[in-house]
Structure 1
Amino acid sequence: MSYPTVRNRRLRRTSALRSLVRETVLSANDFIYPIFVTFGHNIKEEIPSMPGVYHLSMDRLEEEIRDVIAAGIQSVLLFGIPEHKDAIGASAYDANGIVQQAIRAVKEWAPELVVIADTCLCQFTDHGHCGIVHVHEATGTAEVDNDSSLDLLVQTAISQAQAGADIIAPSNMMDGFVLAIRDGLDEAGFSDIPILSYSVKYASAFYGPFRDAAHSAPQFGDRKTYQMDPANVREALREAESDVAEGADMLMVKPALAYLDVIKLLKEQFDLPVAAYNVSAEYSMVKAAAANGWIDERAVVLETLTGMKRAGADLIITYHAKDAARWLKGEE
């Protein structure tokens, strides 16, 4: 049958009808809110390239956590900016490191809040890479050594679990990192702590503002030898398949907007929850356009996040989380 018997507009006639047949429903329960914790006292400094996002010292963190809970968000992702960096990122796995301190504090203030720890070395190394850098004597060239980096990533994950992290989220893209961390957590008595793997993390141009926020830009070269080529999609399946086999509990695609097809593919191919990371430049572009009066920020953000969920994301990591959660409740 076709027109005039079929009239698709019938189900769009009123707001109530549209709500009744809506296929994708966005909720604050879908959101994970990233937070940047730094050393020092009484620090709440707005990140210039990410309006509305702040560096927070420990003594200012609780007010942010209370704000997150008031918005109805149930999970946060913690990033730390250490006071000291070195070649092996020792602050990443220090029991009294900035992330470990933040985890313990948040779990004390809000035990019900799901605390996710980003597990990587880039914010803690003086060279800004996600693993240990070795220089070849013969050629003088430097490269990130995959296997020697795994031991330190395992130490980092264990220290975060010991501090009270509910979920470990390794973002380093080393081969075998999920298996190494799963084995390490299990041996340390944390077999019940899930791994949210940055399974499909592209070497993207959309990370610029985050690198400003986390002070994690590489001091030489780039991350293209371990992060994925943006042109590849079959490789994404191989990466995710490896992580599933190694014991990942959830899979992530990062960034989100330019990779909705990849989110959909992972959702169709695997039966694990899929997370989308709505990354810093995706956030900052919306903020810049809204500040210039070119777009309706609220409408664009909610449409964008709905698109990520429609593509298959079960979880969305987004800097818009607090605003979006309030907008969904009808607040301004």
Structure 2
Amino acid sequence: MKNESSLARTIDQVTGGTRLRRLRQNDWVRRLVRESDVSVNDLIWPIFVREGDGAPEPVASMPGVFRYSVKGCVEAAQRAADLGIPVIALFPFTNPELRDETGSQALNADNLVCRATRAIKDAVPEIGILCDVALDPYTSHGHDGVVREGRILNDESVELLCRQAVVQAQAGCDIIGPSDMMDGRVSCIRAALDGEGLRDTMIMSYAAKYASAFYGPFRDAVGSTGALKGDKRTYQMDMGNAAEAIREAAQDIAEGADMIMVKPGLPYLDILAKLVEEFRMPTFAYQTSGEYSVIMAAAQNGWIDGDKAMFETLRAFKRAGASGVLSYFSPRVAEALQQR
């Protein structure tokens, strides 16, 4: 080739003439060949519900995140629907006086989550609702199950979780999300739902939920930070384990889970990818409160570009194979996608 340098000939020899940068030279070609991207259909928006009326209450440790009244949740659900977000996930801020040793408020068919669910389904029936099944927002000790003499009891906890799942489904919840990590709970919840004629209610199991430092702001948001006695390492997974995640997921799938989840998200992308490869079923990542707050804090200090970091992390989940992501960034992402 005329004017071809010896260096160019050498590069062509070692690359076989393939110049991978050709597919990166313009925005349009980068978009054309992009393997993984984020759409509004990938988003689940976690929302915190509180008692009372009035304006949304900011969560101090999660800039841009609020606790909503039931009426505010309906407005948030309408916003989600308008943005095209398919699903919202509800988490309650339970007043301390309603918390007790067994989390009995979780079984109240008129609790915050159930009231918010009914109100949302009445006003915005097209939005999907995911409800968390665990006792920690309702217990005085902050654990996900029943505690006796310092031990979290598995079977006694599962019995309560089944009853919690039923009252949520009867209120109109579309997807039950057991986040407690008790053994055998998916099978028992499925049987309890089916026994009440709630066969269409789906289960998204928190199959691989790790004992993590990234949950702190969430506990602030639901009011369990000061309540938690000890830690959750006897039931949540150890951060050093990967093969165990496959066993956990396999067990939940065999028990009837329709979808599975990995939590936290970004620190466990390897686990997400393993589960997607192993089971080939809808698998979700939870971009936790800590992951959100890290990005927001750095962005507010001018250390990173928050919007770029937001999309980069969400694309990482999709690249690892996630069917979707639970993210507090969801409305912000959806708005940005609309403006493209």
Q: Which residue of 1 aligns with 2:300?
A: 291
Give the secondary structure class of the aligned counterpart of 1:265: helix
Among 153, 157, 168, the alignment partner of 2:161 is 153
Q: Which residue of 1 aligns with 2:22?
A: 10
Among 279, 282, 287, the alignment partner of 1:273 is 282
CA 1:78 to 1:19, structure 2 compared with 1: closer, same or farther past 3 Å? same
Q: TM-score, normalised by structure 1?
A: 0.95
Give the secondary structure class of the aligned counterpart of 1:316: strand
CA distance in 2, matches of 1:100, 1:271: 32
Among 302, 315, 333, the alignment partner of 1:324 is 333
CA distance in 2, matches of 1:34, 1:210: 10
Among 318, 325, 328, the alignment partner of 1:309 is 318
Query: How much has 1:318 moved relative to structure 2?
Result: 0.2
Range 274-283 or range 37-46, more displaced: 37-46
Cα deviations across residues 195-244 of structure 1 (Å, max 9, x unaligned)? 00000000000000000001123532110000000011011011101101
Give the secondary structure class of the aligned counterpart of 1:195: strand
Q: Does 1:132 align with 2:146?
A: yes
Q: Does 1:54 align with 2:63?
A: no
Query: How much has 1:4 moved relative to structure 2?
Result: 6.1
Query: How much has 1:257 moved relative to structure 2?
Result: 0.7
CA distance in 2, matches of 1:234, 1:330: 42
Q: Which residue of 1 aligns with 2:4?
A: none
Give the secondary structure class of the aligned counterpart of 2:280: coil
Q: Does 1:86 align with 2:100?
A: yes
Q: TM-score, normalised by structure 2?
A: 0.93
Q: Does 1:114 align with 2:128?
A: yes
Q: Which residue of 2 aligns with 1:188?
A: 196
CA distance in 2, matches of 1:59, 1:114: 17
Q: Does 1:105 align with 2:114?
A: no
Q: Which residue of 2 aligns with 1:234?
A: 243
Task: Give 5+ residue unaligned stretches, structure 1.
Answer: 136-141
C-alpha contact 1:131 1:172 (8 A) present in aligned 2: yes
Cα deviations across residues 130-187 of structure 1 (Å, max 9, x unaligned)? 011112xxxxxx1110001111000000000000001100100001010110111111
- Could you say what the CA RMSD is over the residues aligned between the two structures, in angstroms? 1.2
Structure of higher CA gyration radius: 2
CA distance in 1, matches of 2:190, 2:69: 31
Amino acid at match of 1:282: E
Query: How much has 1:289 moved relative to structure 2?
Result: 0.6
C-alpha contact 1:50 1:280 (8 A) present in aligned 2: yes
Query: How much has 1:31 moved relative to structure 2?
Result: 0.4
C-alpha contact 1:43 1:55 (8 A) present in aligned 2: no
Cα deviations across residues 114-135 of structure 1 (Å, max 9, x unaligned)? 1111111000011111011112
C-alpha contact 1:75 1:115 (8 A) present in aligned 2: yes
Q: Which residue of 1 aligns with 2:152?
A: 144
Q: Which residue of 2 aligns with 1:245?
A: 254
- Residue identity over aligned pairs, in percent, reads 46
Amino acid at match of 1:235: E
Q: Which residue of 2 aligns with 1:139?
A: none
Q: Does 1:73 align with 2:85?
A: yes
Amino acid at match of 1:52: G
Kindly report structure 1 stretches of 4+ aligned residues shifted beyond 6 Å: none
Amino acid at match of 2:329: H
Q: Does 1:23 align with 2:35?
A: yes
CA distance in 2, matches of 1:155, 1:43: 32
Task: Give 5+ residue unaligned stretches, structure 2.
Answer: 1-12
Query: How much has 1:268 moved relative to structure 2?
Result: 0.2
Q: Which residue of 2 aligns with 1:208?
A: 216
CA distance in 2, matches of 1:215, 1:239: 28
Query: How much has 1:67 moved relative to structure 2?
Result: 2.1
CA distance in 2, matches of 1:154, 1:43: 34
C-alpha contact 1:130 1:172 (8 A) present in aligned 2: yes
CA distance in 2, matches of 1:111, 1:43: 24
Q: Which residue of 1 aligns with 2:205?
A: 197
Query: How much has 1:81 moved relative to structure 2?
Result: 1.9
Give the secondary structure class of the aligned counterpart of 2:67: strand
CA distance in 1, matches of 2:62, 2:207: 25
Range 30-39 or range 85-94, more displaced: 85-94
Amino acid at match of 2:87: S
Cα deviations across residues 52-72 of structure 1 (Å, max 9, x unaligned)? 111111132222222222322
Range 51-60 or range 246-255, more displaced: 51-60
CA distance in 2, matches of 1:77, 1:264: 23
